[in-house]
Amino acid sequence: MEIFVTWKRLTHFAGRSKTLQDTAGIYRKAETRGIMRFLLTNDDGIYAKGLSALYQELSQAAECLIVAPEIEQSAVGHAITMSRPLMVRPARKNGQFLGYAVAGTPADCVKIGIKELSDQPVDLVVSGINRGANVGINVIYSGTVSAATEGAILGIPSMAVSLDTRTDADFSFAAKFARRMAFFMLNHNPNRHIPLNINVPALPEKDIKGVVVTRQGTARFTENFERRVDPRENVYYWLAGETKLSEADDEGTDALALSHGLISVTPVYCDLTRYDVLEELRETIGKLEMK
């Protein structure tokens, strides 16, 4: 399956009116003010392999600034830090500057990255590559998806990328697809203000069946708590379990598409209103007697 863009120049966002070439040989132009700036973050922590793979791929196309949690922040949702100082330190890898490690959440990283740490405007926020899918109800818990949502709240085109495995993860294909989607977000997406939640099957490239636009389903994490006792006889618990499809997850949902070997692309946003019940609820509430 050939779904990638091959650019004539690796620095395809540099300068003005640079010519690009996709795999079909169609030339397009991207009008920019100069080298584009991507803000990269995640919820697995600044030294996570998925973030490293994302940087290796996207840094061929744009100037990438990493601002990520100093430790893993999985399942923190859209939390932000307000009751203590937000500590930021330069992080290094193999003696080289890697990015900024933040003692906070993924949403914190996006906020401070855009507002304070980037020395030029951010053109795109990319969150990931997460180890494990973010589909169904689990999207609410996801720090990865919340980082992309935060970027959109701040007016920046944003996307979250996740790989559907927690073991033996090979992020190379997902990183290449993220680069393809970055091109789409900045050149061909009429709804660029809406963040995208992208989930990639953990399959060899030849076995991936395609790309589909989906809606968020109702697959959810089924909780198990493992009860343990420490050497001092204090009881503690580890949350365990797995994500399972629900009966309501039909052909158009993210989790089902992923289970069928398809890349799932879901437009998401922070508005949690159930518009389908607003009128009925207004009528019902209006009949209540206030004493």
291 pLDDT band, cuts 50/70/90, is: low
Give the domain CATH number at 130: 3.40.1210.10
Q: For 268-282, what is each residue's pLDDT tens digit?
A: 998 889 899 999 999
Q: For 214-257, what is each residue's pLDDT tens digit?
A: 999 888 777 788 999 999 999 999 987 777 766 666 778 999 99
- Please identify which residue in the block is written with the tokens 């926020």: 125
Prediction pTM value: 0.84
What is the predicted pLDDT for the residue at 219?
Answer: 80
Residue 239 within a domain? no
Residue 129 within a domain? yes
pLDDT over 50 at 25, yes or no: no
Residue 177 within a domain? yes
Residue 97 within a domain? yes
Domain that holds residue 174: 18-217+247-286
Q: How many domains does the chain divide into? A: 1
Cα separations (Å) of 54 from 202, 248, 277, 283?
16, 33, 40, 50
Average pLDDT over residues 53-82: 95
Residue 77 within a domain? yes
Residue 279 within a domain? yes
Residue 91 within a domain? yes
State how far the Cα of 88 lies from the Cα of 100, in Å rounded to an integer.
Answer: 6
pLDDT over 50 at 26, yes or no: no
Residue 4 within a domain? no
Task: Retrieve residue 105's tokens.
Answer: 């959440």
Q: Are the beta carbons of 33 and 119 closer than 8 angstroms?
A: no
